[in-house]
Amino acid sequence: MTPAEARRLLEEGNRRFCERRPEYAGIRETPQPPFAVVLGCIDARVPPELVFDQGLNDMFVARVAGNVLSDDILGSLELACTAGGCKIVVIMGHTDCAAIRTACAGTASGHVVSLFHKLAPAIQEAGGGATCDPQDAALVRRIAEIHTRRVVAEIRGRSAVLRELQVAGTIAIVGALYDVDTGSVVFAEER
């Protein structure tokens, strides 16, 4: 399977999800090795296996609020592509992300502080900062898109393993945005 074929499987699965005609509710009759790894948000509306209509053992999934990167997540993505043989790494943000909205509001305590610290550059780039309105849906969406793009760039910058696999054409690393209202996933242009 090529990275383009892996992406097409995800796009076709998301189309089935949007059209409410899922095929993979559980174990496949003919099992196949996992082909994709997704880093997504913990938001209860965004489970990647459902959103992409994939069955058991089809994809690896890492989820953390705001789909932020960490060393352990990066190691997990590397494992999924080396030992796991995945052909595509998807960083999936989503609209109406509560993590982004709360980060915009500037209210954080405990371990949330360090998590929101990782969202701050995207908020700044979107022109948010101190004047950021957490109820501004368009702004929150734009921040999600920018943050997703930044995470893709960060992966390429920090992981020599994944960068080399991508340069060799073995894997694709791509951002995506899930719309919680329509259920559709729009992939960013690959760069």
Residues 6+ apart with CB under 8 A from 107: none
- In the numeric block, which tokens belong to residue 89? 């790494």
| Rg of the chain, C-alpha, whole Å | 16
- 8 A C-beta contact, residue 80 and residue 35: no
Q: Which residues in 140-169 contact Zn ion (CB under 5 A)?
A: none
Distance separating alpha carbons of residues 21 and 130, to the nearest angstrom = 44
Shortest Cβ 159–Zn ion spacing (Å): 23
Contacting Zn ion (CB under 5 A), which of 6, 51, 97, 139?
A: 97
**Is residue 115 a contact residue for Zn ion (CB under 5 A)?**
no
| Residue position matching structure tokens 């890492």 | 62
Instruction: Mark the segment that binds Zn ion (CB under 5 A) among 17-25, 54-62, 99-107, 174-182.
Output: 99-107
Binding footprint of Zn ion, residue count (CB under 5 A):
4
* Helix, strand or coil, per DSSP, at residue 37: strand
Instruction: Mark the segment that binds Zn ion (CB under 5 A) among 3-11, 12-20, 92-100, 127-135.
Output: 92-100
**Is residue 80 a contact residue for Zn ion (CB under 5 A)?**
no
Shortest Cβ 106–Zn ion spacing (Å): 17
What track of x and - describes contact with Zn ion for positions 22 through 61 (by CB under 5 A)?
A: -------------------x-x------------------
Q: What is the DSSP letter of 21?
A: -
